[in-house]
Amino acid sequence: MGNSVLGVGLTGLNAAQAGLITTQHNISNASTPGFHRQQIIQGTANPQLYGAGYFGQGTSVEAVKRVYSQFLDNQVSLSETTSSYLDSFYTQVKQIDNLLADPTAGLSPSLQDFFNSVHAVAADASSVPARQGMLSSASALVGKFGTLSEQLQGMRDGVNGQIVSSVGEINSYISQIATLNDQIRLAQSTTLGAQPNDLLDQREQLTGELNKLVNVSVVKQDDGSVNLFIGSGQALIVGNRVFNLTTAKSTEDPENTVVAYSSGGSTAAPLSDNSLTGGTLGGLLSFRNTTLNSAFNGLGRVAVGLAQTFNEQHKLGVDLNGAQGGNFFNLSSATPAVISNLNNTGGAILTASYTPLKSAALTTDNYRISFDGTNYALTNLTTGSNVAGVTNAATLVAAVGNLGLTLNVNATVPPLSGDHWLLLPTRYGTSAISMAITNTSQIAAAAPVKTSTTLSNTGSGEISAGAVDSTFSFPLAAAVTLTYNSGTGKFSAAPAQAVTVTSGGVSTSYASGTPFTYVSGATISFGGISLVITGSPANTDTFTVSPNSGASFAAVSDSRNALLLAGLQTSSTLANNANGTATASYQGVYSQLVSEVGNKTREFEVRSKAQAIVVSQAQQQQQSLSGVNLDEEAANLVRYQQAYQAAGKSMQIAATLFATLLSIGG
């Protein structure tokens, strides 16, 4: 029994030592990420029966376990996935927000400067400095579109780059987790159920980090290893097999880098952006597919809309050389774009161009055209819904026509089932716009016709300056004289014209050669020219509409067209409503974009902040259970130190007992 006294003391000494070691381990790892505090599980050793009864045989350390709750750890991981997603989206969208709303860097100041310069030309069309000012501020506006386009393109490139590096990190985590899987499997098989706590901590830390990059589902196996799945169930780790992700150029939109997955030897297939949710990667993909597209398309629509409507009006004017106004802005053939999917097997060639005078129908959405072997379909990629009524090529062309575009389907070599095309109506608008004219004399400030009252008229009739619309065919071949007949109260035109008289909203048409009734203040239109005669003309009074163009052109101070160009600034020329009425000016659609991006940024800022609080609370709860409290460990140090000292003392007493026995013998 004396032997056992020493032995019992020894078990206490060992247990205290184990407690001290574990406490020191906890203290050392107090700030190690992913560490769960550990405890020794102490139990009594099996008692022995000695005559009188069972005598305790001291203590034993049964296990070292980590204080771990799968629920709390999962909470942290889930909240962090969402948080990284929100942060990643927010970081990106904030850049666009800063870009657009800045009072000096945004588009608004350039747009205003440009139209101010058009007004300056309208106020003095013959002034070369004013004309030069208009060219310069137009160049500055075009330059601003270019800069914004480059900055947005830079963001797209940045997103692509980050996708590549995220995939690299994901692969690195996968291989580290696979290695830990092997170690844990081995450890558990050799130690019969003892948990390799620190290895488990490390693996959970890595899956947590992986989940910050992209949402991954973790499935625990009986042998202690975990299987990882991504997207719509693609395995990253199954047993001891590892499948890496790769990146590839999107076959649909070659400007985008997408994540691809290859299961054992087969060629990598792209994973749908929608299937990769959560985490930094999810945030990047979601940003690219929503706000980045909106920004590109929204700015593109301003550029395309401005170029088209301004050009249309400019072409109705006459420049300083007496020639018809040309395009003021150029739009390169880069926009609109129809991109054929790289996997297409058929040979149909689809191209698109803008339909003149339909800029207001342009949307800021992207579309997918698909062919199922029999029919075409047109899908709005923003809403995800198909445009109704699209079946054959003709209906497809009609549906695209409603979007302000003319689609040309060349199916000489027919398309095959599964062929896709991406239709981008305005994405490249900002990079496609450039100046079409370089010379101040090419600004078409004048109108192509002018009117005059014959000076010898005896009545008080007066004729307005006259204006032309898009149906006017340049130039007016010969002057048209309108002669009044007071007997019939009618005017006749020479040479004869088919005249329409509009008064009080009611139009009356007269066949060519038929005299038309005079109503003071009524709009008289023929051949795309409209004018108004007022007052009381006398019999045989004449008014003349003459060409204001050609080699002898000298109307340098005529600024009627410049005035109409300046008026475009505030007219609603874009963004048709459901009834096909344009609802917004250039500035209006730009403000819409700024507001949309601002709201999105705001939304993600608020959600991101709220999620940070959720993460912090989840972490605190998890830490509350599993984290190391140094004061607690200090107390444990004292406790185990004292237990050690006490056990030592008891062994000393055992030794004394033994010495007493020996002394008796001596």
Partner 1 sequence: MRISSSSMYDVGIQAIQNQQAELVKAQQQLATGRRVITASDDPVAAARVLDISQSLATNEQYIANGDTAKSSLENEDSALSAITNIIQDVRTLAVAAGNGSLNASNLSKIGIEVRQKYQELLGVANHSDANGRNIFSGYLGSVKPFTQASGAGVYAGDQGKIAVQIGTGRQIEINDTGADIFKPGVAAKDVFQTISDLADALQGVTPFTSATATTAISQLDGELNNVLQFQAGVGAKLKEIDAVQSTASEYSLNYKSTISNLQDVDVASAISELTKRQYGLQAAQQSYIKVTGLSLFNYLQ
Q: Which of 398, 630, 653, 655 touches partner 1 (CB under 8 A)?
A: 630
Q: How far is the CB of 441 from partner 1 (least distance, A)?
A: 13
Q: Please report, as residue ranges, which positions from 631 to 660 form the binding site for partner 1 (by CB under 8 A).
A: 631-632, 634-635, 637-638
Among 625, 646, 648, 658, binds partner 1 (CB under 8 A): 625
How far are the Cα atoms of 109, 167, 404, 416, 418 from residue 370, in angstroms, in the given order?
41, 30, 19, 10, 7
Residue 478 CB, nearest distance to partner 1 (Å)? 17
Among 123, 357, 478, 511, binds partner 1 (CB under 8 A): 123
- Beta carbons within 10 angstroms of residue 263's beta carbon: 12
Q: How far is the CB of 389 from partner 1 (least distance, A)?
A: 34
Assess contact for 392 and 291: CB atoms under 8 A: no
449: left (phi over 0), alpha (psi -120 to 50) or beta: beta
Q: Which stretch binds partner 1 (CB under 8 A): 99-107, 151-159, 294-302, 473-481?
A: 99-107
d(CA 332, CA 432): 5
Between 198 and 605, CB nearer to partner 1: 605
Q: Which is nearer to partner 1, 620 or 652 (CB)?
A: 620
For residue 200 the two structure tokens come to 């488990």
425 prior amide bond cis, ω within 30: no
Q: Which is nearer to partner 1, 165 or 599 (CB)?
A: 599
Q: Which residues between 582 and 621 bind partner 1 (CB under 8 A)?
A: 585, 587-588, 590-592, 594-599, 601-602, 605, 616, 619-620
Cβ at position 400, least distance to partner 1 in Å: 30
**Which residue in 31, 190, 412, 438 binds partner 1 (CB under 8 A)?**
31
The interface region with partner 1, picked from 5-13, 106-114, 177-185, 499-507 by CB under 8 A, is 106-114
Work out which of 98, 345, 391, 392 binds partner 1, going by CB under 8 A. 98
Dihedral sign, Cα of residue 70, residue 71, residue 72, residue 76:
positive
Q: Tokens 């050793």: give the residue.
A: 45
Name which of residues 452 to 511 contact partner 1 (CB under 8 A).
452-453, 455-456, 465
Q: Is the peptide bond before 103 cis (omega within 30 degrees of 0)?
A: no
Nearest in space to 298 (alpha carbons), one of 473, 51, 106: 106
Q: Please say which residue, 403 or 467, places its beta carbon nearer to partner 1.
A: 467
The minimum distance between CB 554 and partner 1, in angstroms, equals 5
Residue with Cβ nearer partner 1 (59 or 451): 451
* Closest distance to partner 1 from the beta carbon of 650 (Å): 24
Cα 2 versus chain centre, distance: 81
Which residues, 534 to 563, sit near partner 1 by CB under 8 A?
548, 554-560, 563
Q: Which of 14, 24, 112, 485 binds partner 1 (CB under 8 A)?
A: 112
Residue 37 makes CB contacts below 8 A (sequence gap 6+) with 26, 66, 67, 626, 627, 628, 629
Phi and psi (nearest 5°) for 584? Answer: -140, 150
Range in contact with partner 1 (rule: CB under 8 A) among 174-182, 183-191, 567-575, 646-654:
567-575
CB of 77 to partner 1, least distance (A): 17
**C-alpha to C-alpha distance for 260 and 179, rounded to whole angstroms:** 23
Report, in Å, the least distance between residue 353 CB and partner 1: 30
Answer yes or no whether residue 194 interacts with partner 1 by CB under 8 A.
no
Task: Give me the least distance between CB of 297 and partner 1, in Å please.
Answer: 17
Question: Restricting to residues 36-75, which ones interact with partner 1 according to CB under 8 A?
Answer: 37
Q: Between 123 and 538, whose beta carbon lies closer to partner 1?
A: 123
With beta carbons less than 8 A apart as the criterion, state whether 142 and 429 touch. Answer: no
3-class secondary-structure state, position 420: strand
Helix %, strand %, coil % of the chain (to 5): 45, 20, 35
One DSSP character per residue, 560-614 reads: HHHHHHHHTTTS--EEE-TTS-EEE-HHHHHHHHHHHHHHHHHHHHHHHHHHHHH
- Residue count, binding to partner 1 (CB under 8 A): 76
| Piece of the chain touching partner 1 by CB under 8 A; list 45-53, 110-118, 352-360, 489-497 | 110-118
Candidate list 126, 217, 324, 380; residue touching partner 1; CB under 8 A: 126
Q: Contact region for partner 1 (CB under 8 A) — 100-108, 151-159, 401-409, 418-426?
A: 100-108
In this complex, which beta carbon is closest to partner 1, that of residue 257 or of residue 559?
Answer: 559
Task: Decide whether 184 or 467 has the Cβ nearer to partner 1.
Answer: 467
Shortest separation between residue 158's beta carbon and partner 1, angstroms = 19
Residues 393 to 452: which contact partner 1 by CB under 8 A? 446, 450-452
Q: Which 3 state secondary structure label does DSSP give 144?
A: helix
Residue 567 to residues 110, 564, 592: CA-CA distances in angstroms? 17, 5, 21
Residues 127-186 that bind partner 1 (CB under 8 A): 127
Beta strands in 176-322 (DSSP E): 216-220, 226-230, 234-238, 241-242, 245-249, 257-261, 269-270
Enumerate residues 6+ apart whose C-beta is below 8 A from 353: 336, 405, 406, 408
User: Which ranges of 191-273 would DSSP assign to H, the alpha helix?
Assistant: 197-213
Listed residue (250, 295, 298, 256) closest to 157, CA to CA: 256
* Torsion angle defined by CA atoms of residues 306, 307, 309 and 315, in that order, rounded to the nearest 10 degrees: 150
Applying CB under 8 A, the span of 96-104, 342-350, 485-493, 515-523 interacting with partner 1 comes to 96-104
C-beta closer to partner 1: residue 218 or 628: 628
- Of the ranges 97-105, 143-151, 348-356, 413-421, which one interacts with partner 1 (CB under 8 A)? 97-105
Crossing angle of helices 108-123/560-567, nearest 10°?
Answer: 160
Sign of CA dihedral 158, 160, 162, 168: negative
Task: Kindly identify the residues of this chain, within the stretch 309-348, that bind partner 1 according to CB under 8 A.
Answer: none
C-alpha pair distances (Å), 156 with each of 14, 89, 119, 219: 62, 13, 37, 35
Q: Which is nearer to partner 1, 277 or 585 (CB)?
A: 585
Q: How many other β-carbons are positioned within 10 Å of the β-carbon of residue 99?
A: 20
What's the min distance (Å) between Cβ of 117 and partner 1?
10
* The one segment of 241-249, 380-388, 419-427, 580-588 that binds partner 1 by CB under 8 A: 580-588
Q: How far is the CB of 448 from partner 1 (least distance, A)?
A: 12
* Shortest distance (Å) from residue 366 CB to partner 1: 23
Q: For 404, left (φ over 0), alpha (ψ -120 to 50), or beta?
A: left
Figure out which of the listed residues 44, 136, 624, 652 binds partner 1, where binding follows CB under 8 A: 624
Nearest distance from C-beta of residue 125 to partner 1, angstroms: 8
Q: Which of 627, 643, 644, 651 is in the footprint of partner 1 by CB under 8 A?
A: 627
